[in-house]
A = this chain, B = another copy of it.
């Protein structure tokens, strides 16, 4: 029984949040348990930041309070996701051994008084961390409440100190074997950067001008790996004591510092923290994309929404609240896209500390509040959706995204800082989401066999074998859609010479010779129709077998190809040599979907309404400001209301339907 299934079997969908009883007097704990039960909570995350409480002095242990909490939860039949407390060492560690504190690229030491103040490469920190993890695992192995291990929290620390430099060098030696290979890969012939000894090599630190981009790329690889190595070390200790308890750590969506593809392979359960910005009109699509990414990281299996906010967060400059119904809408969106657990940060709003103004499931004003009533209602209604647990979200479209390419693309010193990997990813996801087309987010080296359409919004860095696989996919009958500035560099960040995108040129039946960032809007025209605009980026392309489906209309690019379509072997390959306005990109996508024979879940989807099928259940979620009517195409039962109806469903703003075909 794989990761999350161990938790949902017998419990159904998971519902709960971070629980920090150490912030409250014991008399509150009993009220907490009662309120949790009332709200349908069946999973709480405990102990994320309790190192200083568990180990108040070096080597001391104070587990008494946690014993109580674990027993209380066991008694209330609430499972515990028990955290290793290593995200934030106690002040005594930084005080006694300041070399465990991280140092930024300018040489500033970062102090305790906040959180996350550790050098990922510090052996002292590692030893201390594994010590407390070992004792925690030994103590709670076999405890009836223990259901999941939560390692650390939101990994992302970076340190540029000399200890980190030493670890970086060791990592580089493993990667390159010898200095000559490193000098070749880093291109140290440029700007007199040749290294004559390993000891010279440093993290990228504050420097007079642009830093070597391959050094920087490797540094980002190393930083992700150094944290992953720490995760693995904790996980191994935990597995030793509790081989049957799955292990997770919480991602932060499209978070640049951590290559989640590499991490997810080491986890039993993929979990994520997701905080859509209520002020961002694209937030629903952004969240959907991240949910799909989590499902991809989980290999198509369910994942866990570890943290979301019941209301406003507190870390933006201006924190908009969630209007009534938004809490439920966002949570059900995650469910519809593969989450089997819907948890919050945090259970009860803190009175003190840096997050005292972060919303919680129980606000400062108490349980008799609009917010808590929504939480409770949502927790309860999840009981009726238990059949969804474990169900897949089948998709015929793959969206390719990789961290290495992201890192490589966004080095300074490129043609335009305005071309960003995550924004391109969203741009290509958006028209799919708007049509209710299910999408799997996959890594660049994914097996593409099962997909009717493969979309590559940007793959600046591509390995030879991945480019070959994309080419083979298209030639073999697939439909491939590639966005601009892809295929530019190899895994060392070296530009592939010749006309671009060199390794995809044959597949695309087209090639280019110059990247031309645009001053403003650029005019374009469909060969078979209307004009549209593009922006930010253009390329000087020539068709080499492909058809120029759209071309530029103005300036020095007039009549040059803007969008190309190529019959490649048995398949079709598209290339987009600019950033079209959203409606135009949607048109490109519509044509590619037609080539691939893929249609959305619902024939006509009003703007703002999201449609996604999970298992047998079609979820319709209205993110728009207007009431919408959607025809699911047949007689259905709404699992949320029990209503059975034929024909269109009416969805007021923020409403959700969970429809199962009724026979």
CB distance from A40 to the nearest CB of B (A): 22
* B318 and A416 contact, CB distance less than 8 A: yes
A662 within 8 A of partner (CB): no
- Taking a contact as CB atoms closer than 8 A, the residue among B187, B194, B206, B315 that contacts A110 in the complex is B206
* A204 and B351 contact, CB distance less than 8 A: no
Contacts of A413 in B (CB 8 A): 314-315, 354-357
A363 within 8 A of partner (CB): yes
Contacts of A352 in B (CB 8 A): 186-187, 189-190, 213-214, 492-495
- Taking a contact as CB atoms closer than 8 A, the residue among B366, B498, B556 that contacts A365 in the complex is B498
A478 within 8 A of partner (CB): no
Residue of B nearest to A184 (CB): B352
* A415 and B50 contact, CB distance less than 8 A: no
Contacts of A351 in B (CB 8 A): 187, 494-495, 497
* A500 and B193 contact, CB distance less than 8 A: no
Residue of B nearest to A56 (CB): B196
* A22 and B189 contact, CB distance less than 8 A: yes
* A321 and B514 contact, CB distance less than 8 A: yes
> In chain A, residues 408-462, which have Cβ atoms closer than 8 Å to a Cβ of chain B?
412-418
Contacts of A417 in B (CB 8 A): 317-318
* A191 and B494 contact, CB distance less than 8 A: no
A248 within 8 A of partner (CB): no
Which one, A101-109, A138-146, A397-405, A469-477, is touching chain B? Answer: A101-109
Contacts of A197 in B (CB 8 A): 92, 95
A497-B364 CB under 8 A given contacts A108-B206, A212-B354: yes
**How many A residues touch the partner, as a band?**
35 or more
Contacts of A210 in B (CB 8 A): 114, 315, 354-355
* B414 and A211 contact, CB distance less than 8 A: no
Which one, A83-91, A298-306, A639-647, is touching chain B? Answer: A83-91
Contacts of A214 in B (CB 8 A): 352
A64 within 8 A of partner (CB): no
* A113 and B212 contact, CB distance less than 8 A: yes
* Secondary structure call for the A interface: loop
A352 to B408, CA, bound (A): 12
Copies of this chain present: 3
Contacts of A112 in B (CB 8 A): 193, 200, 202, 207
* B195 and A91 contact, CB distance less than 8 A: yes
> In chain A, residues 154-194, which have Cβ atoms closer than 8 Å to a Cβ of chain B?
157, 186-194
A311 within 8 A of partner (CB): yes
Contacts of A416 in B (CB 8 A): 317-319
* B208 and A157 contact, CB distance less than 8 A: yes
A148 within 8 A of partner (CB): no
A516 within 8 A of partner (CB): yes
- Taking a contact as CB atoms closer than 8 A, the residue among B49, B206, B364 that contacts A500 in the complex is B364
A23-B187 CB under 8 A given contacts A205-B111, A320-B519, A357-B414: yes
Contacts of A634 in B (CB 8 A): none
Q: Give 1 or 0 for each of A533-564: 1 = CB within 8 Å of chain B CB.
A: 00010001000000000000001100000000
Can you identify 17 A-B contacts, CB atoms within 8 angstroms? A49-B192, A52-B194, A85-B192, A89-B192, A106-B108, A107-B109, A110-B206, A113-B202, A189-B352, A190-B355, A211-B354, A312-B516, A317-B416, A352-B492, A354-B412, A356-B493, A364-B498
13 more A-B residue pairs beyond the given contacts A209-B354, A349-B495, A364-B496, with a C-beta to C-beta distance below 8 A: A49-B192, A52-B192, A95-B199, A110-B207, A112-B202, A113-B193, A278-B519, A319-B415, A323-B555, A324-B556, A364-B500, A365-B514, A370-B540
The 3 closest A-B pairs by CB, nearest first: A187-B352, A190-B353, A114-B207
Q: Which chain A residues have a beta carbon within 8 Å of chain B's beta carbons?
A: 20, 22-23, 49-53, 56-57, 85, 87-92, 94-95, 102, 104, 106-117, 157, 186-197, 199-202, 204-215, 278-279, 311-312, 314-315, 317-321, 323-324, 349-357, 363-366, 369-371, 412-418, 492-500, 512-519, 536, 540, 555-556
